[in-house]
Chains A and B, each alone.
Chain A
Amino acid sequence: MIVANGKPLEEIFDLVKDHRKILVAGCNECVTVCEVGGTKEVGILASALRLHFLNQGVEAQVGETTLQRQCDREYVVGARETVEPYDIVVSIACGVGCQFMAEEYAKIPVVPGVNTSFMGGALERGVWSERCQGCGTCLLAQTAGICPVSRCAKRVLNGPCGGSTKGKCEISKDVDCAWQLIVDRLKSLGRMDDYETLTPIKDWSTDRAGGPRTRIKEEVVS
């Protein structure tokens, strides 16, 4: 899923300071799972905004809504009646949802209430870890199911680099060396011989390097 972090409240206050009718819009998908942009967080941010305006002695209306998905035009369009009475939307969906809202509501400013971070999974409640950078050509079969593109600080495809120490990356003792993990897993799979296969120079044209990507599944396009 897409993992995001809430923006500092002061930054959000600054983003909305010139507006008096503010809608906080959450999303029921990834940002709900990573506990930053669902119905609960919409309520918390809306309360914080109300309190902020109250403290400023400013009369403002702060509304709340949570869309099923902000990254899906159908739901975004379906929110028209809720959205249009407001003069700004703080989207606490990911950057995709925020953009879809902005694309649909051309006359209403839509600002982000979160910083979108990465694609990852939950290690435990409250702890998420990056697993994929969407490079478009998956190497996991060659690297024993551990992605060096997203998990090695240098994206080394034939690692480990010389900075691997006691299983940790040179950038931090809190970061696992992806190549230590790959080697450990190759070993447990009895595939250490595969380690010596050189990973060829990667075609990054399927990564963002190739420009914005669109995927079309012909059979379902109406």
Chain B
Amino acid sequence: MSSTTPSKLEKMLKAGHQAVTSECGPPRGSDAEAIKEKAQLIKNHVDAINITDNQTSVTRLCSLASCIHLKLAGLEPILQMVTRDRNRIAMQSDILGAASFDIHNILCLSGDHQSFGDCAAGQNVHDLDSMQLIQTVRHMRDEGKFLGGDEIKRPPSMFVGAAANPFADPFEVRVPRLAKKVAAGVEFIQTQCIFNLDKFERWLGEARDRGLLEKVYVLAGLTPLKSAGMAKYMKNRVPGMDVPDEVVERIAGVPKEKQPEEGVKMCIEAVQRLKEVPGVAGFHIMAIEWEEKVPEIVEGGGLYPRPPLD
């Protein structure tokens, strides 16, 4: 954890504070107001905001342009970049584009398969995978060079993140896979939505035992459930998601109109429990199209006000 970029997120974590990030999905059109409004709802409660990159493979306003809108509005964006849609030329180029606007955080992902989205008949690229993208950004930043070996004038200065899913299969490679991302040079991790807290704690404990948490900051990913229907959908239909029966039963056990409130309550309880777990460096709150609830979760979880940075 030696690098120092101008990233506010990195500074927050280095200072020993539990960081809070959230995410905004860009609109399916060219009007950026929607994303700016979403960001305004949460800006005082988070340290940085992820902008998703054509999530679920549905074509949207691009992550880079959306990040620029946030940056120009004085907020700290995290550029999500999937390897699905771009080859190494396009990715390096977009990284430079982001760096030219002083975007200092990147999250390296492979991306959902295009068969889920609005262009199921499209090609995918996957010239690199997510680990190789991590290596690429680190190479550009630390060596100041392109993958081809040429020097970069004004290299990017980015805090490099990736995702981890403690719940995907096979479970026995979940910690080795984190180790692999650490070896590739990742500096922060945002996890998949955690509903099975016991399993997450087991995964984090194993990562801690291997000494990985001395090398990477792990932000626990949380999503407030809006309804029992959403819980069931995530349990049964979303690949790599682990929603235990008791979670579904709890939210299904309250009347329909009270379910959103119960979902937020469950999310706050998860924050309260996980913030005491050694190695939880912060939280990544993914309130899918429900950004207005982020402040309530952050406050309820005892993560507000956000600590000041020198």
Residues on A facing B (Cβ under 8 Å): 153-167, 170-171, 177, 179-180, 183-184, 187, 192, 195-196, 198, 200-202, 204
Closest to B167 in A: A162
Indicate if the CB atoms of B173 and A160 lie closer than 8 Å: yes
The one of A166, A180, A196 that contacts B180, using a Cβ cutoff of 8 Å:
A196
The number of inter-chain residue pairs (CB within 8 angstroms) is 95
Q: If A154-B84, A156-B126, A158-B180 touch, does A198 touch B172 (CB 8 Å cutoff)?
A: no
Collect the chain A residues with CB atoms within 8 Å of residue B128's CB: 201
A-B contact pairs, 30 of them (CB 8 A): A153-B113, A155-B124, A155-B126, A155-B129, A158-B129, A158-B184, A161-B168, A163-B168, A164-B168, A164-B169, A165-B239, A165-B240, A167-B169, A170-B112, A170-B113, A170-B116, A171-B113, A179-B173, A180-B170, A183-B170, A183-B173, A187-B172, A192-B176, A195-B173, A195-B180, A196-B176, A196-B179, A196-B183, A198-B135, A201-B128
Any A CB within 8 A of the CB of B110: yes
CB distance from B208 to the nearest CB of A (A): 17
Any A CB within 8 A of the CB of B131: yes
Collect the chain B residues with CB atoms within 8 Å of residue A165's CB: 168-169, 239-240
Q: If A180-B170, A201-B147 touch, does A158 touch B131 (CB 8 Å cutoff)?
A: yes
Collect the chain B residues with CB atoms within 8 Å of residue A187's CB: 172
Collect the chain B residues with CB atoms within 8 Å of residue A195's CB: 173, 176, 180
Closest to B120 in A: A171
CB distance from A196 to the nearest CB of B (A): 5
Any A CB within 8 A of the CB of B165: yes
Q: If A156-B129, A158-B132, A162-B165 touch, does A201 touch B88 (CB 8 Å cutoff)?
A: yes
Interface bin, chain B: 35 or more
CA distance A157 to B124 in the complex (A): 15
Any A CB within 8 A of the CB of B9: no
Closest to A159 in B: B129
CA distance A154 to B116 in the complex (A): 13
CA distance A166 to B126 in the complex (A): 23
Collect the chain B residues with CB atoms within 8 Å of residue A167's CB: 169-170
CA distance A160 to B180 in the complex (A): 12
Residue of B84, B116, B128, B239 with highest tally of chain A CB at under 10 A: B239
CB distance from A177 to the nearest CB of B (A): 7
Binary contact track B116-130/A, C-beta < 8 Å → 1, others 0: 100000001011111
Residue of B112, B164, B177, B183 with highest tally of chain A CB at under 10 A: B177
Collect the chain A residues with CB atoms within 8 Å of residue B116's CB: 170
Indicate if the CB atoms of B240 and A154 lie closer than 8 Å: no
CA distance A204 to B177 in the complex (A): 24
Interface residues of B in 156-201 (CB under 8 A from A): 163-165, 168-170, 172-173, 176-177, 179-180, 183-184, 192
Collect the chain A residues with CB atoms within 8 Å of residue B177's CB: 160
Indicate if the CB atoms of B129 and A162 lie closer than 8 Å: no
CA distance A154 to B115 in the complex (A): 11
Indicate if the CB atoms of B169 and A177 lie closer than 8 Å: yes
